Chain A
């Protein structure tokens, strides 16, 4: 397992189009998080899953955003009717609450390299 993988690395889309990003977490990790990072700022929490259940959503996650984690493995983040304000880096991270796992939830997470979205 080589860590958290995010695809694509870059996405340029026209305003109004829909986009979908994918995150593959560390396979043993049961928690998966999505963050958004705008230029020069720290990441902001969007949502997180424990296994397949989406347990928390930030108010930043408008109704144009939807995230899924079918079967508790990979996750997708979809943005519908993109706006220029959606341009940002979208970061995925995973962690484990299971005993004996590396990076338990009381540590930090393992982050992916992010997907940079540009809406033109």
Chain B
């Protein structure tokens, strides 16, 4: 079974600064997807960014980018130019491409605070 670990329960950053959230995962599979989701107080999980394991290039979405290290099974999220609206709980998630169902396995989450 796959596991996802987020070792930082809480992180804080100053507005306009850069912050990196860590995520590690464990799997015996070689083909999978990794995601970062944001969950603001409104509770709705919002997809921030995704990465296909077979792609070496790190995914980027505007101010959000990832550092995907497949051999190390590491998948960190970098938020540049942090904004007050980035404050939320962030979840790292794994999805297999090798098994059916496409269930997501989530980490425990990192609560991000953005200070003005």
Question: Which A residues lie at the B interface, using CB under 8 A?
Answer: 31, 33, 35, 40-45, 48, 55-56, 89, 91, 93, 95, 105-109, 111-114, 116
Q: Are A113 and B44 also in contact (CB < 8 A) when A40-B109, A106-B97 are?
A: yes
CB distance from B78 to the nearest CB of A (A): 19
Sample of 12 more A-B contacts, CB < 8 Å, known A42-B108, A105-B102, A114-B44? A31-B102, A41-B108, A42-B4, A42-B109, A45-B103, A45-B104, A106-B52, A108-B47, A108-B50, A108-B93, A109-B104, A112-B44
Q: Are A91 and B45 also in contact (CB < 8 A) when A42-B91, A43-B106, A107-B50 are?
A: yes
Q: Are A43 and B103 also in contact (CB < 8 A) when A107-B50, A108-B35 are?
A: no
The 9 A-B residue pairs with the shortest CB-CB distance in the complex, in nearest-first order: A42-B106, A111-B45, A108-B47, A45-B103, A113-B44, A105-B102, A108-B35, A56-B101, A114-B43
Q: Report which of B45, B46, B95 forms a contact with A43, defined as CB distance below 8 A.
A: B45
Q: Which chain B positions have C-beta within 8 A of A35?
A: 104
Q: Which chain B positions have C-beta within 8 A of A55?
A: 100-101
Contact B33 A41 (CB under 8 A): no
Q: Which chain B positions have C-beta within 8 A of A91?
A: 45
Q: Which chain A positions have C-beta within 8 A of B100?
A: 55-56
CB distance from A30 to the nearest CB of B (A): 12
Q: Which chain B positions have C-beta within 8 A of A44?
A: 106
Q: Are A56 and B103 also in contact (CB < 8 A) when A113-B42, A113-B43 are?
A: yes
Q: Which chain A positions have C-beta within 8 A of B74?
A: none
Q: Which chain A positions have C-beta within 8 A of B67?
A: none
Q: Report how far A116 CA is from B44 CA in the complex, Å.
A: 12
